[in-house]
Chains A and B, each alone.
Chain A
Amino acid sequence: QKEVEQNSGPLSVPEGAIASLNCTYSDRGSQSFFWYRQYSGKSPELIMFIYSNGDKEDGRFTAQLNKASQYVSLLIRDSQPSDSATYLCAVSGNTPLVFGKGTRLSVIA
């Protein structure tokens, strides 16, 4: 059974701070790693993907991957109240994406 684990939160950060979201996965054969943002009652929206060990930056978002530790993280710099949402980690190998339960982020103005 492939598992993706995330702290459910809520993670509260002040506006302008860095939010750090973490995810671990069980399947060592996983090859592709995704971060989705989900606002309450809405569908998941893809915000980052990473395939190789190391960091990948896109605007205020940085995804970090460590395959040896089976660990993925997402950093959000200069957090804004509009970033308040649930962040879903998803992992795939040769199988469809498996999602974690998500971490709820609250950015306090």
Chain B
Amino acid sequence: EPEVTQTPSHQVTQMGQEVILRCVPISNHLYFYWYRQILGQKVEFLVSFYNNEISEKSEIFDDQFSVERPDGSNFTLKIRSTKLEDSAMYFCASGDRSNEKLFFGSGTQLSVL
């Protein structure tokens, strides 16, 4: 069964450093998303991406965040200068229709020290 894959599973970084989280969405999906979940809190939308551009972003997705689809398979989330409050589980998701059933990757646990 096709699945969304994410790497790395864990990332530890120092405050102020740049991190790149990587995702390979399901191959025939066209809509890509990043969500995050701070420990004990709800899953929060960050950004959606379609046709090589951002379709929607939340207030969390400020200038420190960027997304890219550098090739036909990868979808990345970059945090330019990490803050302590960026520590969370980051989930990539993909779907074959806009804002419909989403399938999530296993997540990257980001710890900012």
One of B13-21, B37-45, B65-73, B80-88 at the interface: B37-45
- For the complex, give the distance between the alpha carbons of A98 and B43 in Å: 8
- For the complex, give the distance between the alpha carbons of A44 and B106 in Å: 8
Find residues 77-106 in chain B having any chain A CB closer than 8 Å to their own CB.
91, 99-106
CB of A20 to closest CB in B, whole Å = 21
- For the complex, give the distance between the alpha carbons of A49 and B95 in Å: 14
- For the complex, give the distance between the alpha carbons of A42 and B45 in Å: 17
Chain B residues in 8 Å Cβ range of A88: 42-43
- For the complex, give the distance between the alpha carbons of A48 and B15 in Å: 39
Contact of B99 with A44 in the complex, beta carbons under 8 Å: no
Contact of B42 with A43 in the complex, beta carbons under 8 Å: no
CB of A76 to closest CB in B, whole Å = 20
Contact of A46 with B102 in the complex, beta carbons under 8 Å: yes
Chain B residues in 8 Å Cβ range of A43: 91, 104-107
Question: C-beta contact mask, A91-109 vs B, less than 8 Å → 1, else 0?
Answer: 0111111111110000000
Contact of B100 with A96 in the complex, beta carbons under 8 Å: no
- The number of chain A residues touching the other chain, given as a range, is 20 to 34
Chain A residues in 8 Å Cβ range of B41: 101
- A25 contacts partner chain B, Cβ-Cβ < 8 Å: no
Number of interface residues of B (CB under 8 A): 19
Contact of B42 with A99 in the complex, beta carbons under 8 Å: yes
- For the complex, give the distance between the alpha carbons of A9 and B73 in Å: 39
Contact of B42 with A100 in the complex, beta carbons under 8 Å: yes
- For the complex, give the distance between the alpha carbons of A43 and B94 in Å: 13
- For the complex, give the distance between the alpha carbons of A70 and B104 in Å: 26
CB of B110 to closest CB in A, whole Å = 14
Question: C-beta contact mask, A65-109 vs B, less than 8 Å → 1, else 0?
Answer: 000000000000000000000001010111111111110000000
- Residues of chain A whose beta carbon lies under 8 Å from any beta carbon of chain B: 32, 34, 42-46, 49, 88, 90, 92-102
Give 18 A-B pairs besides A43-B91, A46-B101 with Cβ atoms closer than 8 angstroms: A32-B99, A32-B100, A34-B101, A34-B102, A42-B107, A43-B104, A43-B106, A43-B107, A44-B91, A45-B104, A92-B99, A96-B45, A97-B45, A97-B99, A98-B45, A99-B42, A100-B42, A102-B42
